[in-house]
């Protein structure tokens, strides 16, 4: 469930554009006006606004926002305004660049989007960067990380609910064997995690838990400092309990000395229209504090207002 709140009466895209244009003009920028519009329009509406804006004023809305805004507030507004597939393409591309590289962001995008949304992100990636996401990930990673990440971003996973219980049992056994042998990068373990449908993986991992007495991620926690094992556990979490994964990313981002703004903005921008409500519930349960309050305590100004609007705090 989304936390995005769209007013019952939405102004026409032309009116929205006119208001945004006003917000950019004169002395200083009217950030509150920008938030009141963009933070309360869904992806389809934001897309039309961008089209009309470009037609009307001969300038891309994203360019105008880029000129008028700055720092953390700019980043969250731009990320949010982007079409979801283009946003994922942008984040994934950043994650393959040397200075902003992140195996986690690549894994997160590959594992928490629907198969079709991941495919659309890959199309947007090619349209924008004239290369495939696959080749960039393969080129910029190495070793075990590459062995896991390339198939994760490549596979067009089956999205249906059919489950083969015989297969779930045999693959649970296979996973248990490989983990017992500490063969964490074994090709069968990677094959299962990167090609099976989420429904099938759930069945396999439930059987693993029932049959062998531990959740798989507990068995994969043999060395808390091993970065590959951390990524492997996060992959499994993203594929089976994405809201728990995102709760933890938010928790670590907010509790960090000096808040990890990139993680915070990324999760809010990418989940507000998808499952932020469940992430908030998970956050409250795990931290005994509402996510809104935690964000409010750790951020300030327009940046705070934008984040809170997106997580559904307060009025339109």
List residues binding its own copies (CB under 8 A). Answer: 119, 122-123, 126, 130-135, 138-139, 146-147, 150-151, 154-160, 162, 187, 191, 194-197
User: What's the min distance (Å) between Cβ of 232 and its own copies?
Assistant: 17
- How buried is residue 238: exposed, middle or buried, by Cβ count under 10 Å (0-12/13-18/19+)? buried
Alpha-carbon distance of 119 to 84, in angstroms, equals 12
Nearer to its own copies, 61 or 124 (CB): 124
Q: Measure the CA–CA gap between 113 and 242, rounded to whole angstroms.
A: 10
Q: Which is nearer to its own copies, 193 or 267 (CB)?
A: 193
Q: How far is the CB of 203 from its own copies (least distance, A)?
A: 13
Report the alpha-carbon angle 249-282-165, nearest 5: 95
Structure tokens at 154: 């490549």
Min CB(289)–its own copies separation in Å: 40
Residue-wise over 292-306: b if at least 16 C-beta within 10 A, else e? bebbeebbeebbbbb
Q: CB of 199: closest distance to its own copies in angstroms?
A: 10
Nearest to its own copies of 196, 233 (CB atom): 196
Q: DSSP label at 11?
A: P
Record the tokens describing residue 137, joined without a space.
Answer: 């990930």
Nearer to its own copies by Cβ, of 56 and 114: the residue is 114
Helix (H, G, I), strand (E, B) or coil at 2: coil
Closer to its own copies by CB, 91 or 121: give it.
Answer: 121
Q: Provide, rounded to whole angstroms, the least separation between the CB of residue 101 and its own copies.
A: 17
């Amino acid at each position: 469930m989304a936390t995005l709140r769209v007013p019952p009466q939405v102004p026409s895209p032309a009116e929205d554009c006119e208001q945004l244009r006003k917000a950019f003009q004169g002395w200083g920028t009217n950030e509150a006006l920008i938030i009141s519009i963009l933070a309360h329009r869904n992806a389809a509406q934001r897309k039309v606004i961008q089209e009309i804006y470009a037609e009307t004023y001969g300038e891309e809305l994203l360019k105008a926002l880029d000129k008028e805004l700055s720092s953390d507030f700019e980043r969250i507004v731009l990320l949010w305004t982007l079409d979801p597939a283009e946003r994922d393409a942008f984040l994934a591309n950043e994650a393959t660049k040397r200075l902003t590289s992140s195996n986690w962001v690549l894994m997160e995008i590959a594992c928490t989007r629907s198969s079709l949304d991941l495919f659309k992100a890959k199309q947007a990636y090619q349209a924008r960067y004239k290369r495939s996401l696959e080749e960039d990930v393969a080129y910029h990673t190495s070793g075990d990380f590459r062995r896991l990440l390339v198939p994760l971003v490549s596979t067009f996973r089956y999205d249906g609910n059919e489950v083969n219980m015989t297969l779930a049992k045999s693959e649970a056994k296979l996973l248990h064997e490989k983990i017992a042998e500490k063969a964490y990068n074994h090709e069968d373990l990677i094959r299962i995690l990167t090609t099976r449908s989420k429904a099938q993986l759930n069945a396999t991992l439930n059987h693993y838990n029932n049959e062998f007495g531990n959740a798989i991620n507990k068995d994969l926690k043999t060395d808390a400092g091993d970065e590959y094992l951390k990524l492997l556990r996060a992959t499994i979490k993203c594929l089976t309990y994405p809201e728990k994964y995102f709760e933890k990313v938010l928790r670590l981002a907010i509790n960090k000395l000096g808040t990890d703004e990139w993680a915070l903005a990324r999760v809010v921008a990418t989940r507000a229209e998808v499952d932020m409500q469940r992430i908030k519930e998970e956050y409250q349960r795990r931290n005994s504090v509402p996510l809104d309050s935690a964000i409010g305590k750790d951020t300030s100004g327009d940046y705070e207002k934008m984040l809170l609007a997106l997580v559904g705090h307060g009025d339109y």
